[in-house]
Structure 1
Amino acid sequence: MTDRPHPLLRDHQFASAPVPTSPRSERPSLEVSFIVCTRDRAAVLEACIASIQAACRVHATFAAELVVVDNGSRDGTSKRLAAIAETSDIPVTAVSETRPGLAAARNAGLARARGRVLVFVDDDCKLDRDYLRDLERHYRSGEKWLIRGGRVELGDARDLPFTIKLYEASERLTPAVHPGGFVLGCNMTMHRDVAARIGSFDERFGAGGPLRSAEDTDYLVRAMLLGMPVEYVPDMTVLHHHGRRDRKSIDRLHRDYSLGNGALCLKHVRHAPWLLRHVYWSARAAFRELAGRPRFDRDLDLSHWPIVVMNLAGAARFALLVMMGWPKRLPLRHDRQASEANAEARAR
């Protein structure tokens, strides 16, 4: 698949119904756009939005907006968003994306964001009150050509310790480290010019898509292939309330991640063959498990074997999607409102 960079997807075809309503929508300069994608999780979404609003009040000089993409909710999310926007002290834009999948929702959010810095936050996360202070400090350095992700802590002690990252030191991604989970998609930031350079998220990947996961990991790999660093920082903290409290749900997610990662290896086999090393290392570790060597995660009792099996299944599914020509290329439609948002951002 050829990723064609363009100004924040202004020609990207998506079914959207933007409703920009907020008492402060007239503010002329936006430093940051928070992009939150959601589907049928109105209750946790409200807590996420409240945490973003609280963080913005603490650091009000760093002008922010919130873009919420409703990916086909049927639980009254749109009505709740309209009510929130009426009283919000930051601009709120609600976007309806009818095409299923997290990658499609992220693309719709990208197309409407107007901020200089883009921040992807999952709807089951809450921002630390000092998040914007940390974000501004990192981007004040002037280095914009990178993807940066922050700390992800467990939001509820009853949830199992999965999809979190607690490293205490800054680090940058290298081919020696598997890109999956290096920067988590629930706390991922970039300058808008970086998004324009990389292009749209691959909609074959991600929750709700045929490959179930790894739309964020694919984005990291594509950044690296363009020569952009991927950096983790131990602040810019979010609390992840993922709600998974039984082994079955964690095992299912573990398999989904491995499916997406296997597809990722085949997609980038020509330009990032180093990804195959991680497949080999997983296979080697799986066989060593038979001799009593450590499992993938001893605390959660997760084996290397599902990684190997699902990596192969993911590669096979990706090959099938390529042969089927999915997704079908549709005629591009110029979205006037997305174009106006980008023109406004470029004029600042």
Structure 2
Amino acid sequence: MALVDDTAPAVDTAAAHVLDVELSDPVGPLQRTAPDGTTADEAWLLLRLDGEPVGWEVVPLPDQGMRADELQRLLDSRWGDVVRRRRAAGPGFAEVHARHLAVAPRASVVLCTRERPEALAGCLESLTAQDHPDFAVWVVDNAPVTTATADVVAGFAGRLDIRYVVEPRPGLSRARNRALQEPLEGEVVAWIDDDEVADPMWLSELTRALTERPQAAAVSGLVVPAELATRAQVWFEQFGGHSKGRGFTPADFGPGSGDRQSPLYPLPPFGVGANMAFRTSALRAVGGFDAALGAGTLTHGAEDTRVFTDLLRSGLPTLYRPSAVTRHFHRRDVAGLRRQMEGYGTGLTAFYTSLVVDSPPVLLRLAALAGRAVRDMTSSDSLRVSGLAADFPAELLSANRAGMLRGPGAYIRQRRLDRRLDREAGAVPAASPAGDGGWRPTKVVHWDLDGTDGPVLADEDVARYGAVHVVARRGARPVGLFTLPLPEALDRDARDAAVQRLVEPAPEDAPVAAGGALPSVSVVIPTMLERPAGLSRCLRALLDQELPPVEVLVVDNRPGTPDGDAAAAVPELGDPRVRLLRQPVPGISAARNRGVDEAVGEVVAFTDDDVEVDRHWVRALAERFATEPALDGLGGLVVPSELETPAQELFEQHSGGAAKVLVAETLRLERPRARSWHPARYRVLVQRRVDGALRTVRTHSLYQLGTFMGANMAFRTAALRAQGPFDQALGTGTPSRGGEDVDMVVRMLTSGRALGYEPSAITSHAHRRTDAELARQMAGYGTGFTALLTAVVARDPRHLVGLAHAALTVARSRLRPRDPGVTTLLEGLPAELRRLRLRGMVSGPRAYLAARTKETS
């Protein structure tokens, strides 16, 4: 029996002594006065068998203490049967634990801290005593104002495999997410707080749990008090402490256990941020931690609860293993405990608010659980209050409930505050930290899951890149987009785990038209011949199609184009399947119109000279047109061809990143013939095929179309010609600088035509590499957007009503994440790019009117 090391300041009188007792060893006497000089009236004994914690025994301490034989008789009478049953059950804990140590995988431990150097040192000291054979420690210094944390970390450089990272923005979730940006080693990442010390077997027990349950995504351990020096610390334990009544019985949560435990309530019996571990790929797959939750924010907590709930709701099991023990230094004073209780209440309802904001349908499930929640809050035998002593202050329960009332508003205010700070600070995407000297490019690979075991990288790629962005496919069909850091991407188990977590879209069940007849396809490429290498790659990909196009029309759009031989710069232009057309009238719309005029195919497909089309691209378009004769247009999936610079990563994140739609969809106006004031006239129904029938899955404004881009779109030639030409006052090469592609889509939908989105029609786009190029592009997008709206209204003033409805919809949904496939204007952009885009939007109407005037003059 040994006293737990107490790193807190000594006090003369303690509420209780906290001691470890090994039941397989002879016990010693209990004394009222501990070796540090503190005196207590009782002892909390953490009982272990062969090192495994099995329960608590609270023993009163008389003035003379308790003799060893008295204590032994007490423990034998109350715990003897437990010891005998466990001994007869098979291999003991010590044997099982030792077997795991021989095969324990490398892991990462993350410790987020802020200006608490003494506590940090105590935690790191406990990590030096871990029996796990192979792990790295990452210390994330959150919004530091001194070098104290860095100095402590430097002191452990020779004793731990330790790394130091700074997250300048305050907030525990931001610090946690900062760690997830790092190349964490091993499959498992474990988390511990700086006001804790870890049991020597802590990390190895967490990794053992995930090794024994390969389908599990996360595991949480037991958090016990490091000291009970004051009544405030005892009251915190009575209220559930950090372990929230979990006890000493291992538990599995997930599929099949819903009748025992809802992932929504009661909370949180399945995890705590002070002692948890995840498969790193699973944690990244759910998006990490909600930055508007957690310590250091207005919500005070619940970022850990949200992550566990997200995993459970996505069908991934989580585990509770009390053999993984950490010891926490609770707040000693009542005022500190009151703030903590209030913060827990705020975090709880902020957590529920976050769920509703991100997924409104969850409100129905929460309503079904509301009755139970009210009973638990008002009943005297609920888990949280049944264990409270008579002296537990009522003010602490009142503070907890007051916090619950503040939670929803706190979450909403924090979300708004984060957005404002992002604008002011010019935040960049998590994948591409700016200015830290550690940025590395990401390798883009396509991986056929039905083919090879995984993407193959050359040795120089492994040395050059920091991560791999995977376009996961099954043949021609994309089934997932995800990013794995290197070297994790080289590990087969890590790749398999990432694939297992994909929610693969079901294959399209609509048959190809009878007889397999497919429409002929003409491909049009407008170009200024400024990117001959890109045009050459684009043409080679088109000439190597599985289903060759009937023709490829390259439209040279240089004003005053000479009759010189362009084939010298682009040899593929000499291929008989390629026709070079001249269109000296400037603007991409004029070039598109020239291609449509000359096309002989039943379908006209468009791509750009900075794009490389997938080998199945033409076939995917043709087959979708064949299976759905009612469709007059299609958009396809655009993925990056490279992520070699921060500007390219920023653009990709802004364009949707891994959240792009991978399911075939059909788009049509809800009621194109409705009266002009009715919102249904301007609302697009997005439909998917379910059990052979089209079902509406979401709606969005007519002016929020992101699945149609000029780099990857196609139309039935007859429908396109009937609709009229592209507006030559819109698009690249005109003062409007863009918008011609979306304008055509708006016109077709407004006229009652149905359009589609086909993710199997994949193109790879070479994003702008430099910050200056990206800045010009963002400004141009802003100009093109409002120029497009000006064109729409100029053509039909009734669209002013539609734009008003759209503005109201945007105002109501500011806190919700955008729907996939919906264009965003400012989301995810640094402050400077936002300003440039807004500036472009201001100039759009004037630019369109100037282009129209120039066209008609």
Q: Establish whether TM, by shorter chain, passes 0.5.
A: yes
2:223–2:242 Cα contact (<8 Å) kept: yes
CA–CA separation in structure 1 for the residues paired with 2:417 and 2:145? 31
Shift of 1:259: 0.6
The aligned amino acid for 2:403 is M
Residue aligning to 1:310:
403
CA–CA separation in structure 2 for the residues paired with 1:308 and 1:84? 42
Residue aligning to 1:202:
290
In 2 relative to 1, CA 144–114 (structure 1 residues): closer, same or farther, beyond 3 Å?
farther
1:181–1:217 Cα contact (<8 Å) kept: no
Residue aligning to 1:67:
138
Residue by residue over 1:244-292, the C-alpha shift from the partner in whole angstroms, topping out at 9 and shown as x without a partner, is 1222211211110111111111222335444456665454455567xxx
CA–CA separation in structure 1 for the residues paired with 2:152 and 2:386? 41
CA–CA separation in structure 2 for the residues paired with 1:254 and 1:276? 25
Is 2:337 the counterpart of 1:245?
Answer: no
Shift of 1:36: 0.1
Residue aligning to 2:178:
108
1:180–1:214 Cα contact (<8 Å) kept: no
Question: Secondary structure of 1:70's match?
Answer: strand
The aligned amino acid for 2:290 is D
Is 2:247 the counterpart of 1:167?
Answer: yes
Question: Secondary structure of 1:211's match?
Answer: coil
Residue aligning to 2:114:
39
CA–CA separation in structure 2 for the residues paired with 1:276 and 1:124? 37
Residue by residue over 1:120-175, the C-alpha shift from the partner in whole angstroms, topping out at 9 and shown as x without a partner, is 10011111112233233212225244221001111112151433326110124521
Residue aligning to 1:83:
155
The aligned amino acid for 1:59 is H
Residue aligning to 1:334:
432
The aligned amino acid for 2:242 is I
CA–CA separation in structure 1 for the residues paired with 2:170 and 2:407? 19
Greater mean alpha carbon deviation, residues 166-175 or residues 144-153: 166-175
Identity, in percent, stands at: 24
| Runs of 5+ consecutive residues of structure 2 not aligned to the other structure | 1-103, 254-260, 434-438, 443-465, 468-484, 492-857
Q: Decide which of 207, 210, 214 is 1:143's aligned counterpart.
A: 214
Greater mean alpha carbon deviation, residues 255-264 or residues 143-152: 143-152
Residue aligning to 1:180:
268
The aligned amino acid for 2:149 is T
The structure with more strand, counted as a fraction of residues: 2
The aligned amino acid for 1:81 is V
Question: Secondary structure of 1:208's match?
Answer: coil
2:290–2:303 Cα contact (<8 Å) kept: yes
CA–CA separation in structure 2 for the residues paired with 1:172 and 1:178? 15
CA–CA separation in structure 1 for the residues paired with 2:229 and 2:170? 30
CA–CA separation in structure 2 for the residues paired with 1:282 and 1:309? 16
Residue aligning to 1:301:
393
Shift of 1:78: 1.0
| Runs of 5+ consecutive residues of structure 1 not aligned to the other structure | 1-28
Q: Which has the larger radius of gyration?
A: 2
Residue by residue over 1:165-194, the C-alpha shift from the partner in whole angstroms, topping out at 9 and shown as x without a partner, is 261101245217423364110101011121
Residue by residue over 1:30-51, the C-alpha shift from the partner in whole angstroms, topping out at 9 and shown as x without a partner, is 7210000011111111111111
- Aligned residue-pair number: 309
In 2 relative to 1, CA 218–203 (structure 1 residues): closer, same or farther, beyond 3 Å?
same
The aligned amino acid for 1:95 is V
In 2 relative to 1, CA 101–64 (structure 1 residues): closer, same or farther, beyond 3 Å?
same
The aligned amino acid for 1:298 is L
| TM-score normalized with structure 1 length | 0.79
Greater mean alpha carbon deviation, residues 218-227 or residues 316-325: 316-325
Residue aligning to 1:263:
350
1:42–1:77 Cα contact (<8 Å) kept: yes
2:196–2:329 Cα contact (<8 Å) kept: yes
Task: Report 1 or 2 for greater relative contact order, CA contacts < 8 Å, sequence distance ≥ 6.
Answer: 1
| TM-score normalized with structure 2 length | 0.34
Residue by residue over 1:90-139, the C-alpha shift from the partner in whole angstroms, topping out at 9 and shown as x without a partner, is 32110011100111111111222222110010011111112233233212
Residue aligning to 1:54:
129
CA–CA separation in structure 1 for the residues paired with 2:212 and 2:116? 36
In 2 relative to 1, CA 179–263 (structure 1 residues): closer, same or farther, beyond 3 Å?
same
Greater mean alpha carbon deviation, residues 43-52 or residues 263-272: 263-272
The aligned amino acid for 1:107 is N
